[in-house]
Structure 1
Amino acid sequence: MASLRLATRMFCAAADLAAAPVKISRWEALKSSKAGKWCRGLLSDYKEACREIVVGARERPLKATVYATLLGGAWACFHTAPDQSSFEATLLDHSNQLGLLSPWIRNATSDGHVQSIVKLRNEGRLRHVNLGLLSLVYHTNHDPDSTLYEAQCSNLSMPWSEFPRRVLDVGFASHWWILDSKMKDFDVNDDEFKYLPAHMQVTSPPTVKEVERNEKLHTESWLTLTVEDEDKDAHAVDKEEESVSEESQTEQLKQTQV
C-alpha cells in the first residue's frame, strides 16, 4: 500500500513538471520578439550591402576610386566650410592691413570693397548661411533687432529673386574667395599711374640676367672698401680724365688745321 502511494506521488510530480512552462532568459525573449527580428534583418541587410561594396570595389577599382575621392572631397569641404566668425576675422585682418597704408597708396577697389562690408557689419546687416559644402555671406535691408515696421513685417522681407545680387562672398575650403580676390595688389594705387603714357603704365618682369645683376650689386654694396680698391678707383678716374683731355686736344688740332 505504501509503495502504491509513493508511485502515485512520483507520477503526479512528473506530470506537473511536464505541464510547467519552460523558463527562457530575457535575451532570448528579446531576440525572439518583433523588435529583435527587425534589428537582425537590418543588420543582415547592412552586412550584405557592405559585402557587395567590397566585391564591387575589387571588380571595378577605378570606379570605386572615383567614388571614394568624391565622397572624401565632399566630407573635407563640409568640415572646412568657414563660418561667420571666420569671415569677420578675415574682414578685420584685411581692414587692418589697409589701415597701415597711406590713403595715397591703397588700392581703390580693395579699400572700397572692405569699407562697404565693414559698414554693413557695423549696421548689423550681414548674414551667414551654411549650405554644407560652402558658405555664403549676404546683406539684408535692416538689422533683425530693429523695431522698425519695415524690419518686422514679413510681407516686406527680402524676396528670393534678389538673393543672388545680395551675396557678398562665398566661403569654400576655409577661404573667402571674393574678399581675397579683392585684396589682390591692395598696396598698389592704379590712379597714381593713369596720367602716365601708355608705355610707362605697363611694366615687364625682369629677366634672369637682370635679377642676377641686381643681386650681385646688392651683395657688393655690403662689402667693405680697402685702400687698394680706392687707389685703383683713383687711377681709373685719372686715366679717364687723361683720355678725355687727349681727345679734346686732338679735336682742337683738327679744327685748327681745317
Structure 2
Amino acid sequence: MASLRVSRRMLCAAAEAAAPAPASAPVATSRWERLKNSKAAVWCRSLVSDYKEACKEIFVGAWEKPLKASAYATLLAGAGACFYTKPDRSSFEADLLDRSNQLCLLSPWIRSGTSDGHVQTLVKLRNEGRLHHASMGLLSVMYRTDYDPDATLYEAQCSNLSVPWRELPQRVLDVGFAGRWWVLDSKMKNYDVNEEEFKHLPAHMQTTTPPSVQEVERNERLHKESWLALKMEDEETQTNVVDRKQSVSDLSQIKPVEEQQTQA
C-alpha cells in the first residue's frame, strides 16, 4: 500500500509537470514590465521627480519672494550675457590691427608714447608667436609666453620648463570682458597727444579744462561767420560818406579865411 501511494504521488507530480502552463501576458508586456521595474528606470523616475519638486519650489519661492527672485534672475541673465559677449582671439587681433593703423596715420612727433609703446609690444609678441589667448568663463585674457609653442627648442617643448599657472597674473597683457579689451582701450586714450612735448611746461599749463557752453557757442558762431561772403558795398559807401564830410569841413574852414583876406 505504501509503495502504491508513492507511485501514485509520482504519477500526479509528473502529470502536473507535463500539463500546459496557464496563459500568461505577451512577451512584449513582460519585457516592458521588467524595464519599468529595473534599477535604471527607478533611478530615472526618482531623478524626474526630484527635478519636478525643485522646479515647483523655485516657482513657489519666486511667487513668495519676488525681489529675491528678480535679483537672482538678473544675475543669471548678466552672467549669460557676459559669457556670450566675451571677446576671443580674433577680435583682439582685429582690434590691435585697427589701433596700429590709427597710430600709423599720425606723425611720430604727435603719437602718445604710452599708446605707441604698448601697441608695438603687442605686435612684436604676436609676430613672434608668444601672444596667447585663454578663456576664463565670463572673461578672456591675453598673456605672453617665453617661447613659441611651435619652436623646436628644448626649452619650448619640455613640459617641466613650462610656465606655471601661478605666474599667469604677471604675464597677463589684456582682459576681455563685455565685448571690449579694457587694457588696450585704456592705453589708447589720448593716443594723438604726445606727453613728452609738454613735460617742460609749468604744471598749470600742462592740464587743460574743457570749454564752457558759452565759449563753445561763441566759437561755433565765429566759425559760421567765417564762411560768410564779405560785403564790400557797405564799406565803400561808408568811406565815401566819410570823404564827403571831410571835404565839406575843409571847405567850411577855407571860406572864413578868404573873407578875412578880402576885408583886409
TM category (shorter chain) comes to 0.7 to 0.9
Identify which range, 211-220 or 221-230, moves more after superposition: 221-230
How many matched pairs?
224
In the TM superposition, residue 200 of structure 1 has moved relative to its aligned partner by 2.5
How many Å separate the matches in 2 of 1:139 and 1:151?
13
In the TM superposition, residue 229 of structure 1 has moved relative to its aligned partner by 4.2
Structure of greater Rg: 2
In the TM superposition, residue 159 of structure 1 has moved relative to its aligned partner by 2.9
Task: Kindly indicate whether residue 109 of structure 2 is the aligned counterpart of residue 107 of structure 1.
Answer: no
In the TM superposition, residue 105 of structure 1 has moved relative to its aligned partner by 0.6
Identify which range, 177-186 or 74-83, moves more after superposition: 74-83
In the TM superposition, residue 96 of structure 1 has moved relative to its aligned partner by 0.8
How many Å separate the matches in 2 of 1:130 and 1:110?
25
Task: Kindly indicate whether residue 45 of structure 2 is the aligned counterpart of residue 43 of structure 1.
Answer: no
In the TM superposition, residue 29 of structure 1 has moved relative to its aligned partner by 5.5
In structure 2, the residue matched to 1:97 is 102
How many Å separate the matches in 2 of 1:139 and 1:48?
49
Partner SS, residue 81 of structure 2: helix
Identify which range, 204-213 or 153-162, moves more after superposition: 153-162
Query: Percent of aligned pairs with the same residue?
Result: 68
The residue correspondences of 1:1-258 to structure 2 (distance < 5 A) are 19-23=22-26, 24-25=28-29, 30-231=35-236
Structure 1 unaligned runs (5+)? 1-14, 243-258
How many Å separate the matches in 2 of 1:107 and 1:44?
64
- In the alignment, residue 146 of structure 1 is paired with which amino acid? A
How many Å separate the matches in 2 of 1:207 and 1:40?
72
| Residues 15-54 of structure 1: per-residue CA shift (max 9 Å, x gap) | 96x8111125465654344333322222121111111000
CA RMSD of aligned residues (A): 2.4
How many Å separate the matches in 1 of 2:217 and 2:115?
34
In the TM superposition, residue 120 of structure 1 has moved relative to its aligned partner by 0.4
Where in structure 1 do 4 or more consecutive aligned residues deviate above 6 Å?
none
| Residues 199-229 of structure 1: per-residue CA shift (max 9 Å, x gap) | 3222221111111111111111222233444
Structure 2 unaligned runs (5+)? 1-18, 247-264
Partner SS, residue 19 of structure 1: coil
- In the alignment, residue 36 of structure 2 is paired with which amino acid? K
In the TM superposition, residue 158 of structure 1 has moved relative to its aligned partner by 1.5
How many Å separate the matches in 1 of 2:37 and 2:204?
89
